[in-house]
Amino acid sequence: MHILLTNDDGIAAPGLAALRACLEPMAERGVRYSVVAPDQNRSECGHSVTTRRALKVRQTEANAWSVDGTPVDCVRLALSDLVPEIDMVISGVNDGGNLGVDLLVSGTFAAAKEGFLRGLPAVALSHYRHPSRPRTWDHVPRWVRGLLEEATEHASTDTFLMNINLPAVDPQQMPECVECDVDYSPFDVRYESLESNAFLLRSSYQDRPRKTGSDVEHCFGGKITVTRRFIS
């Protein structure tokens, strides 16, 4: 199995390195990967694509390329030209949660969705953060390797779009994993009026509304959340 790895935090992001660490032990099962990721941070770009200029590509390793475009650009270019023999797309690990309505603006999720729309099984991974917890990464392979092993096993027979979020808890813990629905409750936002007719968005991620049993509630409560969709 040949997996495409990408993200929206950029090719040098520690979350992408953590994702690679998750997959490297799977090489003994015939799992290999290639990386095609943005050359810099492209967070919250949604499903945007570059159409008015040429994309510049730089090969950084034997199996890795950076692209001066969006995550969706990376997936499209990978599948059309760079590594067209891909069997599955995995995007992440994003430095910050992608829960509920975050999915409408998330570049991480958009990259996975692009692979899914093109008939491939796809997974998006994100790590919810809280100011009270350090932004560590070493625990990520221990938390998600089992989920990714399961996903790669199902990828040979199913086409699915999976969204995984890790909670902001003590990295020494092993959080419970729960499959749940996406919470589409909108943010409670307001805009602060500044000088010169400018408005600054104000919102609290931690104080967002949440529905009982949803991905937002479970992840904020310390659980790994999994949402998925299948197509025949």
42 phi and psi angles, rounded to 5 deg: -125, 35
Work out the burial of residue 164: count CB atoms within 10 Å of its CB; fewer than 13 is exposed, 13-18 middle, 19 or more buried: buried
Provide the domain count of the chain.
1
Give the pLDDT of residue 156. 83
pTM of the complete model: 0.94
**The domain containing residue 87 runs over which residues?**
2-231
The dihedral formed by the CA atoms of 199, 126, 224 and 141, expressed in degrees to the nearest 10? -150
State the Cα–Cα distance between residues 4 and 75, nearest whole angstrom: 8
Residue 230: the pLDDT is 54
**Tens-digit pLDDT profile for the chain (232 aa)?**
999 999 999 999 999 999 999 999 998 889 999 999 999 999 999 999 999 999 999 999 999 999 999 999 999 999 999 999 999 999 999 999 999 999 999 999 999 999 999 999 999 999 999 988 989 999 999 999 999 999 999 888 889 999 999 999 999 999 999 999 999 999 888 899 998 889 999 888 888 999 999 999 999 999 999 999 854 3
CATH number, residue 61:
3.40.1210.10
H-type helices in 9-139, by residue range? 14-23, 71-77, 107-117
Tell me what pLDDT residue 232 has: 35
Looking at residue 196, its pLDDT comes to 85
